[in-house]
Structure 1
Amino acid sequence: ARIWSLPIVFVCENNQWGMGTGWKRVSAVDDFSLMASSYNIRGEMVDGMDVLVVRDAATRALADARAGNPVLIEARTYRYKGHSMSDPQKYRTREEIDEYKKLDPILILEERMKKEGSWDDATAAEQDAATEELVARAVTFAEESPDPAISTIYEDIYAGPAFFMKPSLSPATGGAR
C-alpha cells in the first residue's frame, strides 16, 4: 500500500480473542497499530467501544488516505459471544463478559447524548417504534416479493465482473457444474 501510495484504510478489529485464545498469548506486541510502521504507514490504536472516538480516527484516516497515505487503525473492542455457536467459552468468565457489557458502545453513546441534552427516554422510545415499523415493513416487502431469477445470483456482488465470474463457468447460467 505504501509503495504505490494506495488510498487504503486498514481496520483491525481487535476483539481480544482469536477463537478461544486471548490475543496477548499469541502476540509479543500489545499495540497492533505499531505494526504499521514496518510498512512505513501511520498506525493508530483507538477505543473501539467508543463510537465517537472511532469516527474521529476514521475521519483522520480518510483524510490521510485521500492524500495517498495508507493507514492502519486498530480498534480495541470486545467479543461478547463465542467464536461459534458450539463455543462453550471456557476461556473466560461470565464476570469478564458482564464487565465489558457495561462498556457497550451504544450505552456509552446514549449516556453521552443524554448528558449533552440531545437524547432522552422519549426520543429513544420514538426511535425504537419507528425502527420496529421500518423492520416490519421491510419483512413484509421481502416476504411478498417474488424470488429473483437464478441468473441474477452474481449481480451486485462486485463493482465489476470478477475474473472468475465468466458466464460460461456459472451454474446459474447453465455453465459448468
Structure 2
Amino acid sequence: MSGRNSLHRTTSQQPDETPVVLPHVVIAVTESGALDVTVDGTAFPPPAAGSEWTRGTFGPLLDAVTKDRTIAVRIEVREVDGTVFTDLIRARKPTPPQPTDDDPAMPGTRRARRTKQPPVLVEVTGEGFVPGEDIAVAVIVSRTDATGTGAARALLDKHQLDSVPPEGPGEVVLYGRISGTIVVRRVP
C-alpha cells in the first residue's frame, strides 16, 4: 500500500487561478461624494485627467481595478459616517475562444451539435407603463420591467417566435401587470 491517502482529492484549480495574496482595494467616500481609491496603498486615479471616481462610476472602477474581472481583489469601502463594507470580487472564468474559420464545425460532429447559433433579436418598445412595473410580453415568451420613465423594452430572440404560425398576425403584446397598459406591435 502506498503512503498516499486514496480518499484525498485535490481540486481542479490551477495554481495561477487563486492568488496567495489578493490585491487590497480601499475606496474611501469623501464628503463631496467622490471616491478616493488605493490599490495596495498606491493611489488608483481615474482614467481621464481632471475627472474623479464617483458612485456613478463604481462599475467601471471595479472593471478597471480587476482588469475587466480577470483578477480577484479584496474591496473595502469606507463610508463618510465610518461604516466599512468589505467584499471579495472573484475573477470570472475565461470564456473559451470562438472557433476559427480554419476549424469549422462539421455537420454531424459533436462540436456541431454543441455549437449554438447567435440569437437574431427583434426589439419591441412601448410607453405608458408605471415606472418599475412588471411587463408581460406575449406571445408569452418573455417578461421585462418598465424603466424609471415608464418606458418598456423587450429583446426577443427570433427563435422564440418560431412557434408562431407563419400565416399568423406576427404581433407581440406588452402588458403592464399593474397599469393594465397594453401595447401591440407587429414584428417582421
Give the TM-score normalised by the residue count of structure 2.
0.21
Give the TM-score normalised by the residue count of structure 1.
0.22
Higher helix share: 1
Higher strand share: 2
